[in-house]
């Protein structure tokens, strides 16, 4: 599958005639698509946790900025 993906990418480069051309590989991650529901899931079970993680994230970034640990 990895080799096919690379070959398809190269074929796309060879054959594209205009920008924004995409091609789906047709590969599926799993037969069961339930993993898609987990992407960026927000519901009552994690709402408080997400808010806390966001606050922690902002605090840490501000600290690092203060220490000059940014670009």
Partner 1 sequence: MNKTNYMQRTRDYYRAQGFEKDYVWAHYEEIPFTRPSRPLDQSTVTIVTTAVADPSIPKLMREAASYRFDEVPDSFDTSELAWDRETTHTRDRQSYFPLEILRSLVTEGRIGRLAERFHFVPTDYSQKNTLEKDAPRILEACRTDQVDIAILIPL
Footprint of partner 1 (CB under 8 A): 2-3, 5-7, 9-10, 13-14, 16-20, 28-30, 33, 35-36, 38-42, 47, 50-51, 53-55, 57-58, 61, 64-65, 69-71
Least gap, CB of 50 to partner 1 (angstroms): 4
Q: Which tokens go with 39?
A: 């992407």
Instruction: Report in angstroms the alpha-carbon separations of 55 from 16, 31, 61, 64.
Output: 44, 37, 10, 14
Nearest distance from C-beta of residue 65 to partner 1, angstroms:
8
């Amino acid at each position: 599958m990895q080799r096919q993906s690379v070959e398809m990418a190269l074929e796309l480069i060879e054959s594209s005639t205009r920008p924004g051309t995409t091609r789906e590989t047709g590969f599926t991650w799993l037969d069961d698509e339930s993993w898609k529901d987990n992407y960026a899931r927000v519901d009552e079970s994690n709402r408080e946790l997400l808010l806390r993680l966001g606050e922690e994230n902002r605090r840490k970034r501000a600290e690092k900025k203060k220490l000059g640990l940014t670009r």
